[in-house]
Amino acid sequence: MNKQLAFCLFLLSLAFFSKAQEFRCKAIVVADQIQGADPIIFKTLEQAIGDFVNNRKWTSDQFEVKEKIECVITLVISRQIQGEDGGFQGRLSIQSKRPIYNTNYTSNLTNYTDKDVSFRYQQFQNLDFNDNRVSNNDALASNLTAVIAYYCYIMLGLDYDSYSLKGGSDFYNKALNIVSNAPENKSISGWSATAGQNQRNRFWLIDQITNVRFAPMREVQYKFHRLGLDVLTTDPEGARTAMNAIFPIIQQINQDNPSSMLLQFWFNAKSEEVINFLQRAPLTERQALVPMLANIDVTNASKYAELLK
């Protein structure tokens, strides 16, 4: 094979690769609290996480470069697990966003921290995951990729739901499959109904996303983004009407399911955007919506109250 042909094939492979994967992920590992361990271990882990997310094929669809989901995955390691060689405990923060049509603006879809992540990692260990098999032999070793894969499917589901009504179902089912296959093991937690504190862990998040009681939240995701933000520059009145229509839906979900994890999860990503949207609304709209939202998104109640001053 001559050099020119080899180079052309190389360029073609790069073009295919750039369209194949779905994420443009930045991985960050913070291990300042870990004493005595070689810092290089955590740098290789950081690289391994980024490669795992960016190089894996998560869907059967082809993504253009501009369509890739931008995300940041931050693993903060808080301690070593006694008696487990290479065992660590920490928290995993997941942030993802999607572009808004006809603008340079990107909208947050995910902004969440999982505070209960334990895993085993040895330097230069290859991170891999099989959707249909979570290792029971060494659950601690396979737990990190299981957790990351779970949240990748959540991010994909939210992204697809924001473009088409209930478009993310396949990905939520894959996340649910990971939960269903997670082994019962004392060394890991966060995967079972009984392990949740006030029904807030990986089990309860995907349970609520896929539960018929919360089905209207998927309508909210679609209307807010595709019928709202995406057309705000071309059809402001229609966009405002669609976005305003989601708040009574959220209120009803909250009344039927007080203090649900799913609503908190949604507002973690969207509260700032909702507040910015309401800042531009007429006073009469703000007067109607602010008490409702302050009652649902209690963490940001004071910020909503500022909108009436």
Sketch the domain layout of the chain as residue ranges. 21-210, 216-309
Q: What is the pLDDT of residues 241-258, one digit of tens each?
A: 999 999 999 999 999 999
pLDDT (mean) for 164-187:
92
Q: Does residue 98 carry a pLDDT above 60?
A: yes
The pTM assigned to this predicted structure is 0.91
Give every strand in the sheet of 23-30, ordered side by side.
23-30, 69-80, 87-99, 106-120
Higher pLDDT, 92 or 13: 92
Instruction: Compute the mean pLDDT over every residue in the chain, rounded to the nearest whole number.
Output: 90
Name the least confident of 185-199, 222-236, 258-272, 277-291.
185-199
pLDDT for the residue 197: 58
- Per-residue confidence at 300, pLDDT binned at 50, 70, 90? very high
| Residue 166, φ and ψ in degrees, nearest 5 | 60, 30
Q: Which two three-digit tokens encode residue 264?
A: 């908190």
DSSP state, residue 62:
P
Mean pLDDT of 166-195: 90
Say whether pLDDT at 119 is over 60: yes
H or E element, residue 97: strand 87-99
Beta-strand relationship, 23-30 and 69-80: parallel
pLDDT digits 0-9 by tens, 209-239: 999 999 999 999 999 999 999 999 999 999 9
Do residues 296 and 248 lie in contact, with contact meaning Cβ atoms separated by under 8 Å?
A: no
Q: Which residues of 133-160 are buried (b: 16+ CB within 10 A; e: fewer)?
A: ebbeeebbbbbbbbbbbbbbbbbbbbbb
Ramachandran region of residue 186, left (φ > 0), alpha (ψ -120 to 50) or beta? alpha
pLDDT at residue 11 above 70?
no
